[in-house]
Amino acid sequence: MSNDKKKKPSEYPLFAFRIDEEKKEELNTLLEDVRDALNKKIAADDKLWMKNDIIYEALKLGLPILKKIKK
């Protein structure tokens, strides 16, 4: 058994942004769909995907693409 204590949510830094309710619901639905799809493909003893993990990976993958777009 590990001696590592599980962190409380308040021990993590917060990253937030403001959007309207419609966009929030749209993103939340998409996040849940992606989370469910990813969690179906993992082994029973693997760590489940959480929404925070998916948001981080999506930003990490998508922001460099957006950065390359020339306006």
Sign of the torsion formed by the C-alpha atoms of 28, 46, 53 and 67: negative
DSSP annotation string for 10-66:
GGS--------HHHHHHHHHHHHHHHHHHHHTS-TTSPPP-HHHHHHHHHHHHHHHH
Q: The pTM is what?
A: 0.79
- Rounded distance, CA 14 to CA 24, Å? 17
pLDDT score, position 48: 94
Radius of gyration of the chain (CA): 16
Q: What is the pLDDT of residues 9-49, one digit of tens each?
A: 889 999 999 999 999 999 999 999 999 999 999 998 999 99
